[in-house]
Structures are given as structure tokens and as C-alpha cells.
């Protein structure tokens, strides 16, 4: 088909024009019948968002993807091009991607009137049939729809009454394409009004020109919930003209969230080969996001993006990698203490309420990590608080007693792997506990679990923990009250 170069050849071939919404519908139907996957790399929406999108396509609707940040809205919109025909014919040289069999622009009509069946045509790949505009307060009607171009009028020596002086905006130039406006509520209300005709009647109006250009566009809008900020909202008449509003959401389980993070994290081959990350740490990274979404310090209207866990995971690996390089080691594995390196990633991904601002972003991030450890701990080991209420013997008593004998453990951030193992092996009761409740772990995972037990017991107020300048110290919970050594500890040793 792409060998066809003229309008006459196209007519002879039997080609039939099709609207973009019919293209999407027909190709979706074909893929559904073949039971082919529609959207690649979109996880967790199989039974919620994707069926809604498919129904909207079958109904030939424009769509609004409504959800908090980091919910794959733009990625879904960009993948919609896969449901378009691979190539479509266009009038060669047309600004508006005119269909040769149904031209809409003055240019295309003039070319066809002048050259008839010899009018040249070109072929447009589906990858070129996508346009995107981020809604910002400075976007104008001229940017989206078009305006009179005085430079064009001067160059062509045309009067301002000639429609050829019009400079078309991004929407007319997206004729026969998918057009996406991201963050729709940020578009000023008067600009949103300019979209009414396009959505309802499919045509545009520019200045005082009497022209009707029936555009063929699949509109996809993305937006955060209207109460997310005070910057703006979607005006009701515009919302009324959008066929389907589809609600997106965050992953509903830790396991699904882990899959997304592993899929999206940008690690090179060297990092993947040299830094091992166990399942415990992968789970804790996701648990942090779940805790953030439920935190009283974090604005739940803003949401906690999936980018938090992706960035935190990348920082976790980089923290372990940096330690490996400093200790001239060939390989390493991520530790619980490496989560401290994820604080900087968390800081920029959460929007705090007033109480959170008072605490400070870093303190809130550290609190989320602590809460994630505390809550995940009791899914593996007995809950210390419940043991106390039931007056049962504690499986942690030997560890508590070891610290009560004035023993301390300093886990430094850049501790070599050899010293790290020696330190954790010095607490024999840790080995017994981990073997009892988390058997069949690999050698590296066992050491990570041992460290996890120390952190979690400190969070459950079973042992004491102090932040050092270059690491963490674990000790007896009440020993610091009476220990002369601790009384004399200077500020240089404490963070």
C-alpha cells in the first residue's frame, strides 16, 4: 500500500477512509479477539483501569484519566498509538495531515482541485500520530487552536481576510492523531472554554474567520483530582463533553508494587551484577510508600507517587555500591542500614501537611522507614507488644539480656562486609531467632535479617538505638541512663 504515491492510485486500490476513533475501535476489537495484551508494562490495572479504557474506545469516547501523581496516566496515553493503523495516507505537504479522500484544509483542497488524481500523497506512521501538551497557566488559545500570522501575511502579500494567513495551533496540526493535554485543571478556564467546540462538534474557530474545519482527533486528558491544589479545576461544561472519566489508582499490594519498582528502576548491568538486593529490602522499600500514603504527616490529596519507591530503590543500590567501592570489594549486598541512603529520594517525593512541615522532611522520611520496619517485622516474627500483654515468654529475651550486660554494637555505614558479618555473629541469640522464624534464607539474606531484627527491636522499644555520626549504635534500652560512658559521650559521636 505504501507504494501508492498519488490520489488516483489510492482510489484504485480501494482504500477507504476511517476516523481515528473507528481505527482505535476496530484494532482493539481485533486484539481482544486474539486475546492479545493491549498495554505493555502497565501493571495492576488489568481488572480496573484497562477495562474502563477499552469500554471508552469501543464507545468512541474522548477520555480523562483522573488520578494522583505517579499512576501511569501519561504512559497509558502514549501507548494508545499501538492501537492505530500502522500507516495512513496524507496529502503531501499538508499541515493538517489531510485525508486525501476527505481533505479539510484550504491547502489540501487546492492541491487536489489543481492536480486531481495526480495529487501527491505520503504515508504517516502511527508513531507520528501523537501530540502532547502540558497545561500551564501561560498556554494561550493561539498555542492550542491558532491565530492570524502577520509575518505570513506579509511574506505571501495576503490580506488579513484571507484564511491562508492563519497559523494553526497544535490541536489542528494533530488532526487524525491522538492529542493529550496533561494536568488539565492547570489550564485557565477561558482556555478550557476554547475546547468546547472541538470536543462536541469537532471543529475550530479562529478569530473572525468563517471557517469550519472538522477535525478528527482522539482527545485524552490527564488530571489530578480537582481538590489536589488551588491552582484550578476542570470547568463543568468541558467535563460534560468528555465521554469517559477513568479513575486510576496506586498498586493495591506490596507484591504488585515490587514488580513495578523492579520494572521501572534504572540500574545498569554493572549495578545489577555487583549489588545483590534481597526480598526483605525490596519489600521494605514498598512498605515505606504504603506507610507514606497512610501517614498523618503526608498530604494524601497529593498522593505518593510510584516514583518514590523507584528512586528509593535506586538510592539503596547506590548506597551499597558506594560502600563496595570504598572498601575495594568486588561485590556486595544491600543492608538495612543502606535504607538511610533512600531518605534523600523520599524527601522530594512526599508533600507534607503542616504537622509534617514542623517535623521536617528528613525526620518524616526517617519515621516512615522506621514504621515500615516496625510493621513488617510483626509479619515475620511475634509481635513484642502482644507477648507483653499475654505475659508470654519473649523469644527476644536472650538478645535483650545480651545488651543488658553492657554489650553494644556499632554498625557503621561503610563497614566492610567482613566486619559486618563479625559484628552480627557476635550476637549468637540472633542466629537462633532467625533460624527459628525465617529459615531457609541464603547466607547474605540471613545477615540482612539479623540486622533487621536489631532495627525492629529498637523500634519496638526492646533495645536501645542511637544515631552515630557515621552509623547506628545498638545498646541496652535503659543502659544509657546509668552508663558513665554514655553520659560522657560528646556531640561529635552523636548525630
Residues 6+ apart with CB under 8 A from 482: none
d(CA 255, CA 320): 23
Q: How confident is the model at residue 354, as a pLDDT?
A: 86
- pLDDT at residue 233, as a whole number: 83
Contact, 43 vs 200, CB < 8 A? no
Q: Give the closest residue to 27 by CA, choosing from 88, 103, 82.
A: 82
Question: Which 3 state secondary structure label does DSSP give 32?
Answer: helix
**What is the predicted pLDDT for the residue at 101?**
95
The CA-CA-CA angle for residues 257, 258, 263, to 5°, reads 100
Task: Return the domain boundaries, the chain.
Answer: 7-247, 251-377, 386-495
Superfamily of segment(s) 7-247: P-loop containing nucleotide triphosphate hydrolases (3.40.50.300)
- Fill in the DSSP letter of residue 393: P
pTM listed for this prediction: 0.86
Residues contacting 18, CB < 8 A, separation 6+: 26, 85
* Nearest CA-CA partner of 168 in 138, 207, 197, 136: 207
Give the angle 288-294-296 at the CA atoms, nearest 5°.
110
Residues of the chain with pLDDT under 70: 153-154, 156-163, 207-211, 226-232, 389-392, 479-495
Nearest-angstrom CA–CA distance, 419 and 385: 32
Strands (E) across 15-72 are located at 63-66
Query: What is the predicted pLDDT for the residue at 303?
Result: 86
Q: Residue 371, SS3?
A: helix
Query: What is the model's pLDDT at position 386?
Result: 85
CA 101 to chain centre: 41
The per-residue pLDDT for 228 is 46
Q: Are 413 and 337 spatial neighbours (Cβ–Cβ below 8 Å)?
A: yes
For residues 256 and 337, the answer to whether their CB atoms sit within 8 Å is no
In the chain, count H helices and then E strands.
Answer: 24, 14
pLDDT tens-digit readout, 312-326:
999 999 999 999 999
| pLDDT given at position 389 | 65
Q: Which of 41, 61, 38, 27 is nearest to 246 (CA)?
A: 61
- Give the right CATH number for 251-377 from 1.10.490.10, 1.10.8.80, 3.50.50.60, 3.40.1190.10: 1.10.8.80
pLDDT for residue 489: 43
Answer whether 494's CB lies under 8 Å from 469's CB.
Answer: yes
Q: Any idea of the CA torsion for 304, 305, 306, 308, to the nearest 10 degrees? A: -80
Phi, psi angle pair for 487, to nearest 5°: -65, -30
Q: Across the chain, which distance is largest between two alpha carbons, in Å?
A: 99
Q: Quick one: pLDDT at residue 490?
A: 42
* CA 25 – CA 31 distance, rounded (Å): 10
**Which of 397, 303, 296, 287 minimizes the C-alpha distance to 342?**
287
Amino acid at each position: 500500500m505504501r507504494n501508492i504515491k498519488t490520489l488516483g492510485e489510492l482510489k484504485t486500490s480501494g482504500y477507504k477512509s476511517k476516523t481515528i476513533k473507528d481505527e482505535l475501535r476496530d484494532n482493539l476489537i481485533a486484539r481482544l479477539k486474539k486475546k492479545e495484551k493491549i498495554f505493555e508494562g502497565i501493571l495492576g490495572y488489568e481488572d480496573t483501569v484497562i477495562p474502563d479504557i477499552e469500554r471508552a474506545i469501543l464507545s468512541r469516547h474522548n477520555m480523562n484519566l483522573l488520578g494522583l501523581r505517579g499512576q501511569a496516566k501519561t504512559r497509558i496515553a502514549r501507548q494508545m498509538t499501538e492501537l492505530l493503523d500502522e500507516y495512513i495516507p496524507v496529502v503531501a505537504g499538508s499541515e493538517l495531515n489531510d485525508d486525501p479522500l476527505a481533505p479539510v484544509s484550504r491547502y489540501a483542497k487546492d492541491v487536489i482541485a489543481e492536480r486531481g488524481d495526480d495529487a501527491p500523497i505520503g504515508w504517516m506512521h502511527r508513531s507520528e500520530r501523537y501530540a502532547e501538551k502540558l497545561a500551564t497557566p501561560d498556554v494561550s488559545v493561539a498555542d492550542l487552536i491558532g491565530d492570524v500570522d502577520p509575518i505570513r501575511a506579509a511574506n505571501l502579500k495576503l490580506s488579513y481576510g484571507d484564511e491562508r494567513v492563519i497559523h494553526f495551533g497544535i490541536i489542528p496540526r494533530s488532526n487524525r492523531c491522538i492529542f493529550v493535554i496533561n494536568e488539565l485543571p492547570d489550564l485557565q478556564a477561558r482556555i478550557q472554554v476554547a475546547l468546547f467546540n472541538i470536543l462536541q462538534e469537532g471543529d475550530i474557530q479562529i478569530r473572525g474567520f468563517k471557517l469550519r474545519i472538522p477535525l478528527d482527533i482522539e482527545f485524552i486528558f490527564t488530571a489530578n483530582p480537582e481538590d489536589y491544589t488551588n491552582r484550578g479545576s476542570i470547568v463543568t461544561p468541558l467535563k460534560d463533553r468528555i465521554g469517559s472519566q477513568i479513575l486510576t489508582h496506586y498498586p493495591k499490594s506490596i507484591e504488585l508494587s515490587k514488580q513495578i519498582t523492579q520494572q521501572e528502576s534504572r540500574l545498569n548491568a554493572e549495578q545489577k551484577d555487583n549489588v545483590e538486593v534481597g526480598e526483605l529490602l525490596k519489600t521494605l522499600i514498598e512498605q515505606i510508600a504504603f506507610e507514606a500514603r497512610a501517614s498523618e504527616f503526608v498530604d494524601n490529596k497529593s498522593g505518593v507517587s510510584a516514583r518514590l519507591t523507584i528512586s528509593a530503590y535506586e538510592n539503596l543500590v547506590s548506597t551499597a555500591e558506594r560502600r563496595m567501592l570504598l572498601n575495594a570489594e568486588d561485590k556486595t549486598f544491600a543492608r538495612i542500614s543502606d535504607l538511610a541512603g533512600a531518605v534523600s529520594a523520599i524527601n522530594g517525593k512526599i508533600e507534607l501537611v503542616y504537622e509534617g512541615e514542623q517535623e521536617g522532611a528528613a525526620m518524616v522520611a526517617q519515621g516512615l522507614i522506621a514504621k515500615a520496619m516496625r510493621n513488617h517485622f510483626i509479619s515475620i516474627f511475634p509481635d513484642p507488644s502482644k507477648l507483653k500483654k499475654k505475659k508470654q515468654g519473649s523469644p527476644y529475651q536472650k538478645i535483650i539480656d545480651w545488651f543488658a550486660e553492657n554489650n553494644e554494637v556499632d554498625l557503621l555505614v561503610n563497614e566492610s562486609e567482613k566486619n559486618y558479618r563479625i559484628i552480627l555473629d557476635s550476637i549468637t541469640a540472633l542466629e537462633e531467632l532467625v533460624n527459628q522464624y525465617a529459615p531457609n534464607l541464603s547466607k547474605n539474606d540471613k545477615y540482612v535479617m539479623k540486622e533487621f531484627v536489631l532495627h525492629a527491636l529498637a523500634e519496638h522499644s526492646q533495645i536501645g538505638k542511637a544515631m552515630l555520626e557515621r552509623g547506628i549504635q545498638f545498646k541496652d534500652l535503659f543502659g544509657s541512663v546509668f552508663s558513665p560512658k554514655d553520659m560522657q559521650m560528646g556531640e561529635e559521636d552523636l548525630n
